[in-house]
Amino acid sequence: MKLVECVPNFSEGRDKEKIQAICREIESTPGVKLLDVDPGESTNRTVVTFVGPPEAVKEAAFKAIKKAAEIIDMSQHKGAHPRIGATDVCPFVPVSGVTMEECVQLANELGERVGRELGIPVYLYEEAARRPERKNLANIRSGEYEGLPEKLKNPDWFPDYGPAVFNPKTGATVIGAREFLIAYNINLNTRDKRLAQEIALNLRETGRAKRDENGQIVRGADGRPIMIPGKFKFVKAVGWYIEDYGCAQISLNLTNYKISPPHLVFEEAVKEAEQLGLRVTGSEVVGLIPKEALLMAGRYFLEKQGKSPGVPEEELIHIAIRSLGLNDVAPFDPKKKIIEYRVEESGPFLFNLSLRQFVNEISMETPTPGGGSVAAYCGALAAALTSMVANLTYGRKEYETEWPKMKEVALLTQKYKDEFLRLVDEDTKAFNRVIEAIRLPKTTEDQIKIREETLEKAYQEATLVPLEGLRLTRRLLDLIEIVLIKGNKNSISDAGVALMTNLAAAQGTFYNVKINLPNIHDENFRMKAKEESHQILAAMEEKVANLKEILFNELGKEGING
């Protein structure tokens, strides 16, 4: 799933009708899901959070900025929070399947369009900044809206996009790209916020002020305190007491969880607490968290237990929740707290059916689900078996030299398993689109043209899905080879079943590519798909034949042949 989060801040927190008008623009954009709207009375500011595919999120952001420019008058705005425009700031955040570079590109594309179509000066910040001094949002906001007329006259502060002209109604907008911010609290068995603050000072990046032997703060030549850095970069922290919970917490903002993830900060907090005679009782995620942050935690704690981290994501998330104590002060529901789960398509999915339900569904007198979905499911089974053999090898003393490779295999095959399961449904969806295109009216010339174009696109999509599956079977074969040759010998038959099931998946996906090709008119597309599919299957069949010899020798060739 390619997923981007966008968190625009609008300079209106009191007029509900205006806030709703902006949010309607976001919600009306196909593919986008509005997750949160947080208005502030005193700040006169609303923070909106929405997610979706990159292009859809970019479109929703533009529509929201345009609507804000129409209904917010900055010349009349008063509020406690720093601001320079109707849409003050608009960051893009990579969540899953999207790189930071792609979010920077989104920021540039949106900034160019806002400047060109709306005539609003646009500054780029954080990862999208073109100058070091513009990376920090506070530098761009310096002087706020009231100082913007003079700022725009200074060549050093000409906008990155849009005119260097003061627009009293809209002000300016800051657009950028940043990492996901996780609001994370660690719970302590004390009411004393001073003890929580002591731990916070040791964890946070800025650390604490250096003191002399008399306890006085040591200052530098500029008069500022000399700081002793804390243990984690991209971490802000403070200690406080929460009366509702009856405990003190270390309240943290993790601004780059890929460098300083929750589980490592949590583990260090445990050590710090023990030194003060305290216990960490659990932790709390405020708002949403990316799935990968919990998967990282699950893998970490499993490895700490001496177990393979190559297990299904559901198990990794369960381990993470238990290990971090995320249910300590409030229930943690993965479906509500993990951002990817909040936006995933609603079912029913074929891969969520029981084995009997799935087989029954296939057996009915309907063309879908059919051979393509079955082939993809075979691929998922082959990947699952490969992961099983790798996990049964990892941790066994006699295979200790193979542990790093088996860990890698287990992690990859779990990923491949999930990709195959996605293709189970994608194949059915693709064929259904072909059926829908065939049923389009074909009375007039325009109808005939639309039907032909739609059918061509549908057949190409119906070809690309099994072709993706065929490519996946080829990558999986390399991992099967590893467990077949170097894996736990007691599971050699399981590796053999994985080998032959994967071959069945490859042949099945190949047949589904072949059957669609005669219906495709694009000669270049057809020839490329045909050539690639033939090459992959031929290479696989040759390799499988060689691996079968190894398998039979391990099992006892005479016994296998009867």
Q: Among all chains, which residue has been given the structure tokens 């009997």?
A: 356
Catalytic residue among 88, 160, 427, 494: 427
Please report how many Cα atoms fall inside a 13 Å half-sphere around the Cα of residue 136, on the Cβ side.
Answer: 5
Q: What are 379's two structure tokens?
A: 């691929």
Q: Look up tokens 């200690």; give the residue.
A: 239
Q: Which of 81, 192, 318, 328 is catalytic?
A: 81
DSSP annotation of 50: E
Q: Is 494 a catalytic residue?
A: no
Cα separation, 386 vs 319, in Å, equals: 22
CA 42 and chain centroid, separation: 33
Cβ atoms of residues 176 and 125 within 8 Å: yes
SS3 502: helix
| 333 in catalytic set | no
How many other C-beta atoms can be found within 10 angstroms of the C-beta atom of residue 232?
22
CA distance 542 to 91: 51
CB of 502 closer than 8 Å to CB of 476: yes
Tokens 């080829």 map to which residue? 474
The SS3 call for residue 168 is: coil
Q: Residue 25: helix, strand or coil by DSSP?
A: helix
Which among 159, 145, 169, 176 has a CA at the least distance from the CA of 66? 169
What is the C-alpha to C-alpha distance for residues 20 and 528, in angstroms, rounded to an integer? Answer: 49
User: Helices 403-438 and 445-486, interaxial angle, to 10°?
Assistant: 160
**Phi and psi dihedrals of 238, rounded to 5?**
-150, 150
- Amino acid identity, position 426: E
**Catalytic residue numbers?**
81, 427
